[in-house]
Structure 1
Amino acid sequence: MKRFPPALTGLTGFLHGADYNPEQWLETPGVIDDDFRWMAEAGLNAASIAIFAWSSLEPEEGRFTFGWLDDIMDRMARQNMAAVLATPSAARPAWLAKAYPECMRVNARRERTAFSERRNHCYTSPIYRDKVRRINGELARRYASHPALRLWHLGNEYSGDCFCGLCASAFRTWLRHKYQDDLDALNRAWWTAFWSHTYRSWEEIDPPDGTIDWDANARFEKSVNGLLLDWKRFSQDQILDFMRTEASAVRLHDPHTPLTTNFLGLEHRFDAARFAADLDVASWDSYPAWHVHPGDTLTACRAAMEHNYFRSLKGGRPHLLMESAPSHSNWIAGGKPKRPGMHVLASLQAVAHGADGVAYFQWRQSRGSAEKYHGAVIPHANTTDTRIFREIQDTSRRLARLSGIAGCGTPARSALIYDQENQWALDGVHGFKDSQWRDLKKYAETCVRHHHGLWRSAVNIDVISMDASFSPYRLLAAPMLYMLRPGVAGRLESFVHNGGTLVLTYLSGQADENDLCFLGGFPGPLRALAGLWAEETDCIQPHETQALRFTPGSGWDGVFEAEDFCQILRLEGASALAVYENGFYAGTPAITVHPQGKGRTYYLGARTGTGFLDAFYVQALAQAGVPRLIRAPLPLGVSVSSRTDGVVEHVFLLNFSPEEAVLDLRGEDLTGDDGPLPDHQTLAPYEALIAHRPLRD
């Protein structure tokens, strides 16, 4: 693996920056002077600017006031700081919303949003697109050649859908294109004969309800799963087309400066993979709920999974952590400040999983409005004499020492499939609930659990969609792969026959891309590959207990609790590794393996906790020939990952536990800043240790 080029034009080493909102302080003497002096003291080399500054850039339609931004850009150039210049489309000015109400979004109840909040504009509105093109064009024309400009930041956290008449009309046009003007094809794909939903005219089709939970009294359609899926695809395509509109206005005047946009994490319900080809670098905003739940291991695992996902969007090219909280976030339940050491640790976790930059929201706390209590580098007290500021300085020093790692790749021989359309399909499924009507599906949570098993096994992990290439990997985990788009089953078969190890679970191979159930028994097109038929699915209720026990000779030991889902499996070539303990299906297969070609397919018929998955993946990875980065087992709370330029391997040893941890490093040949690491290395609570060695074969 070779080194990738810098994420930002002209930047060597790591980006270290923050969202900066000087437009909020133009009338407060001395603040901006303090900011630039303190940014230098903090060691920041970048700032994201103008994200929500439209009303300060164009206070009246057609009247532009760039003087204050000229000053900020010039100050950044003099300080050799990289400007991440945003297009301000995420928050339109009041004059625009009042003059052109069609620009404001209509919600799922078909109510037009008044001027308020942010990110609530209509992506379809021709007027809004025209106004965005104009402000973007003015910004690009003015700053394309400015020495501070290093990266364009398109919009902010694109998300949501609009149910206005413009969007409804565009949806019908989108459907006519997808189904080649064949309404009968749409009716077949959506199975509209159910409940007499057959459409005889394109004009009869309206957007669905748009919310996830089933409601028998919903005012708009929620029962046609194909409609729900196509609406999500359409809405995403509208956002992508809107982003392209933004980019084209910039590219008209600046064809060279790289482009990015900042995504949210797994909760976004948004397929960032669709956007990757239009971006030069992927970036995302990470706000883990540190210290809110007992222990931080699962929190750290989820953050690692999300970093792995965004790194994987561009074929392993390093990504950027565009926003993170220097301390607490006012949007996270619990709102706890990071404990000493956690900020540096979380920042280096981003680097460990492929990030070439760490940035914060926000540089300075706002005096008023919705995010005034969100953590920042500079607090309301207007001082640098804080624990947080010293941790920012420490992060700067650590990033500077590690600057040679920037651009290094993250070689992974294992991957987890997390697919957004699969999430949408599962969201729309009515059923699989407990006795209190609580949803048991929990797809994202399940993927995090499987990622935990891989993460605890000391291997690098890519997180990919089902459309990505499987060929780089030796083991592929595909939990709850409910939907199979055309061609996926065949590619999974080739992966296994060519020597790969595939891990499938309950609720896999059940429906096609329109959420039509496969006929002939589940897991549908994967039935022969799995070597079994999933005949029934039992939803385990809160008052019930179920367990699975490994069989003698399986290679695994122990009894593990099962929860939520237990499928009753009929073997058709597969062998049972574990059986159920209780109920009318006691003694029947729960976990199976089916060798085919040069590889094998595991099928986990029951949902289990991380204890089982951790033990399972250690052995499955070893059987698949995926080498561990550290041979000895890891203490709970410790993670290991690596980056390399093809010659030197940089190994990140991270302790997310509030307790000391001792690592067995015998035979690992690792060298730290102070020389070779000992055979038994102690990590302090929340410590990050980065070591190096020649790249292993």
Structure 2
Amino acid sequence: MLNPNFPVIYYGGDYNPDQWPEVIWKEDMRMFKAAGINIVTLPVFSWAKLQPSEEVYDFEWLDKVMDLVAQNEIKVCLATSTAAQPAWMSKKYPDILPVDINGHKRAHGGRVNFCPNSSVYRRFSTALAKKLAERYKDYPGLAVWHIANEYGNYCYCENCAASFRAWVKQRYGTIEEVNRRWNMSFWGHTIYDWDEIVAPSHLNEMWLDNGRQCTNFQGIALDYNRFMSDSSLQCYKAEYEAIKEITPDIPVTTNLMGTFKPLDYFKWARCMDVVSWDNYPSAVEPVSNVAMRHDLMRGLKDGQPFMLMEQTPSQQNWQQYNSLKRPGVMRLWSYQAVAHGADSVMFFQLRRSFGACEKYHGAVIAHAGHENTRVFNECAKLGAELKALGDKLIGSTARSKAAIMFDWDNWWAVEFSSGPSIRLKYLEQVEKYYRCLHSMNISIDMIGIESDLSAYEVVIAPVLYMVKPGTAKRLESFVEAGGVFITTFFSGIVNENDLVTLGGYPGELRKLLGIWVEEIDALFPEAKNSIVIKEELGTMKGTYSCGMLCDLMHLEGARELAVYGSDFYAGRPALTENLYGDGRAYYIASDPEEDFLKDFIGYICGAGDIGAALDVPENVELTQRFKENKEFTFVLNHNDFAVDINLGSGCFSELITGKTAQIMLSIEPKGVAILEREI
């Protein structure tokens, strides 16, 4: 179990009573209870109301709301409100406002619109968090602390530049080391004094090209991303420490945003008691991408359950096309989150705003103001089901034999690179490999570069461009002990400062993979090559298409399993296997079509007896969670038609209906089943 404060699956979401007259509050409580709501998050954006001036705090209105919530036996996820500072603060202390990458000083407005290195912001935000903790430390319904909201602002002001210099000095120690790590002899950029370090922006080293941030000096830009991620984290940590000093037993979180590029969430997770995140896929987002983000959030804290802090019950307001969730989809996607490790299902928002940019964002209570709506009835049905589940699933975890490595530093570095192809997108490559495993319903852990590998049989690291200190040795140990490692083109190229590892690619991975890469060919979008299988590997035979990048490599102990089919490097290795200790390491030298990955990874997993828990039709998702001697198998039908599932000789208890399930299980369109059995 995460914490004694999580006795059941929490079901609720963001509530903004300060946007409404008090007369509506009691009606909200009635409707919350009718919907099965057992937790509310408040007050996320109320700093201006909580602190109307520098010396004045007003908690009386919040006291009334907290008392009303307690009377209705609803828990509180208490937010610190520090994501949007009051106007008086921006006016009196203009240095709190950030400077954007173009050098423009921002005015007051929006949200998360502050310099993360502003001492004024940190002083006021920490003070408010402390006062909230002091006031509500004994509140019986306090379940979770929610700091700020969706961090992610970068700033390029002089204050940040000075803080960056201090960060660099602490990291590297001397000017000489900075020049070496950043390769400052290039273009005569050698620095001789700390004050000569400037924030990389569109005023100097960086520019925007077709939506992609480019830079002359990858080492500087990479470190500035690290610094900015750390700077926002320091804001969070200041509030965290103030709260924990007063309420040490209440878990603290902040809502993350899945694969959000600006912040290194693996570093953030170390400072969070429980990971929480906001899930807002479009209607056409592949199911596997949503599943991958859930698994990534679970993986941030080594497989611990997480909180689904926000999703919409019906539609977003900020996408280009804000379609409704069709009947059954909200319920299906909610259970998908639980299936992948969520111990809460929460919404933004509980009552729909009537003004400003989120007035058309979905809510449990619509503008109609009553419960006679499709969305409310769906929410109420889900609330009743989650209540009936009680604590059965709380604290249960996944058990995966396969893992995919994900690294924010690597992501930044790959896409700061000035070549070899603008088409190379790190996240798209990770999604592609995840999608392949997901299509086979193989349980996957999304892990960091420093994660323990001992529990896995197969580890995949797509485009492991950056090899950090110790990574190669850890991978060698994993394979030597019997593990299977798979990596791809454009791997093993640089170190943690984006400096090329000399002596031939893939650098530090060369020994493990038994190859060296001489050249990398970048293909135009319309150009293709082919991968010709030399010997049958399971169902693999014949020829597959490939493109984008093609590595031209030599064998150094590895054997070729497939070769290129055309161009001047026809007949050269395109897929290799290297026996290393008791394990095997594979290198995929190009970007293959998805049928290749399905067949190849199917062969790898089949050889290791890694497979799905049940044989199910296409577009039916399977996941499992485990708790003590209980196994919970989630069957999620993403189809628009009913499916029948052969349960074989197994006998299960289906938790949602309470019925016994054996031999065959029928699941309605967009339907869900949770099968429990002892193991």
TM-score (norm 2): 0.95
Select which of 181, 193, 197 maps to 1:189.
181
Deviation at 1:558, TM superposition (A): 4.2
| Conserved? CA contact 2:649–2:662, under 8 Å | no
User: In structure 1, what is the equivalent of residue 65 of structure 2?
Assistant: 72
| Residue pairs, 1:650-689, within 5 angstroms | 650-672=632-654, 673=657, 675-689=659-673
User: In structure 1, what is the equivalent of residue 443 of structure 2?
Assistant: 460
With over 3 angstroms needed to count, the CA separation of the structure-2 counterparts of 1:660 and 1:260, relative to structure 1, is same
TM-score (norm 1): 0.93
User: In structure 1, what is the equivalent of residue 10 of structure 2?
Assistant: 15
Q: Within 2, Cα distance between the matches of 1:671 and 1:124?
A: 54
Select which of 574, 579, 595 maps to 1:611.
595
User: In structure 2, what is the equivalent of residue 595 of structure 1?
Assistant: 579
| Conserved? CA contact 1:652–1:689, under 8 Å | yes
Q: Within 2, Cα distance between the matches of 1:315 and 1:381?
A: 43
Select which of 190, 195, 203 maps to 1:198.
190
Q: Within 2, Cα distance between the matches of 1:537 and 1:56?
A: 58
Select which of 257, 269, 288 maps to 2:250.
257
Select which of 529, 538, 542 maps to 1:546.
529
| Conserved? CA contact 2:126–2:242, under 8 Å | yes
Deviation at 1:124, TM superposition (A): 1.0
User: In structure 2, what is the equivalent of residue 345 of structure 1?
Assistant: 332
| Conserved? CA contact 2:350–2:365, under 8 Å | yes
Deviation at 1:671, TM superposition (A): 4.0
**One-letter code of the match for 2:445?**
D
**One-letter code of the match for 1:332?**
Q
**One-letter code of the match for 1:22?**
P
Q: Within 1, Cα distance between the matches of 2:623 and 2:502?
A: 42
| Conserved? CA contact 1:457–1:617, under 8 Å | no
User: In structure 1, what is the equivalent of residue 414 of structure 2?
Assistant: 426
| Residue pairs, 1:520-539, within 5 angstroms | 520-539=503-522
How many residue pairs match? The answer is 673
| Conserved? CA contact 1:521–1:533, under 8 Å | yes
3-state DSSP class of the match of 2:260? helix
For 1:369-421, what per-residue CA distance to the aligned partner results, in whole angstroms no more than 9, with x for missing partners?
Answer: 11111111111121211111111112112222333111111112211101111
**One-letter code of the match for 1:645?**
K
For 1:276-304, what per-residue CA distance to the aligned partner results, in whole angstroms no more than 9, with x for missing partners?
Answer: 222211100110112x3xxx6xx211111
Q: Which moved more, 1:90-99 or 1:563-572?
A: 563-572
Q: Within 2, Cα distance between the matches of 1:216 and 1:159?
A: 22
| Conserved? CA contact 2:225–2:262, under 8 Å | no
For 1:579-615, what per-residue CA distance to the aligned partner results, in whole angstroms no more than 9, with x for missing partners?
Answer: 2222222222212211211111111111123332222
| Residue pairs, 1:285-364, within 5 angstroms | 285-290=278-283, 292=284, 299-364=286-351
Deviation at 1:213, TM superposition (A): 7.6
Q: Within 2, Cα distance between the matches of 1:562 and 1:669?
A: 44
Select which of 134, 141, 148 maps to 2:134.
141
For 1:210-250, what per-residue CA distance to the aligned partner results, in whole angstroms no more than 9, with x for missing partners?
Answer: 799855999x9931111011111111111111111111222
Deviation at 1:145, TM superposition (A): 0.7
Please state if 1:578 is matched with 2:537. no
Q: Within 2, Cα distance between the matches of 1:624 and 1:216?
A: 44
Structure 1 vs Structure 2: percent identity of aligned residues? 36
| Conserved? CA contact 2:35–2:384, under 8 Å | no
| Conserved? CA contact 1:667–1:679, under 8 Å | yes
With over 3 angstroms needed to count, the CA separation of the structure-2 counterparts of 1:315 and 1:546, relative to structure 1, is same
With over 3 angstroms needed to count, the CA separation of the structure-2 counterparts of 1:345 and 1:170, relative to structure 1, is same
Please state if 1:416 is matched with 2:404. yes
| Conserved? CA contact 1:83–1:150, under 8 Å | yes
Q: Within 2, Cα distance between the matches of 1:303 and 1:641?
A: 13
3-state DSSP class of the match of 1:379? coil
Deviation at 1:622, TM superposition (A): 2.3
User: In structure 2, what is the equivalent of residue 483 of structure 1?
Assistant: 466
User: In structure 2, what is the equivalent of residue 111 of structure 1?
Assistant: 104
Please state if 1:163 is matched with 2:156. yes
**One-letter code of the match for 1:647?**
N
With over 3 angstroms needed to count, the CA separation of the structure-2 counterparts of 1:17 and 1:509, relative to structure 1, is same
**One-letter code of the match for 1:92?**
Q
User: In structure 2, what is the equivalent of residue 436 of structure 1?
Assistant: none
**One-letter code of the match for 1:441?**
L
Q: Within 2, Cα distance between the matches of 1:465 and 1:254?
A: 30
- Alpha-carbon RMSD across the aligned residues, in angstroms, is 2.1
Q: Within 2, Cα distance between the matches of 1:32 and 1:19?
A: 14
Q: Which moved more, 1:580-589 or 1:235-244?
A: 580-589
With over 3 angstroms needed to count, the CA separation of the structure-2 counterparts of 1:689 and 1:549, relative to structure 1, is farther
User: In structure 1, what is the equivalent of residue 552 of structure 2?
Assistant: 568
User: In structure 2, what is the equivalent of residue 647 of structure 1?
Assistant: 629
| Conserved? CA contact 1:377–1:392, under 8 Å | yes
With over 3 angstroms needed to count, the CA separation of the structure-2 counterparts of 1:121 and 1:544, relative to structure 1, is same
Please state if 1:377 is matched with 2:364. yes
Q: Which moved more, 1:319-328 or 1:554-563?
A: 554-563
Please state if 1:276 is matched with 2:269. yes
Q: Which moved more, 1:84-93 or 1:60-69?
A: 60-69
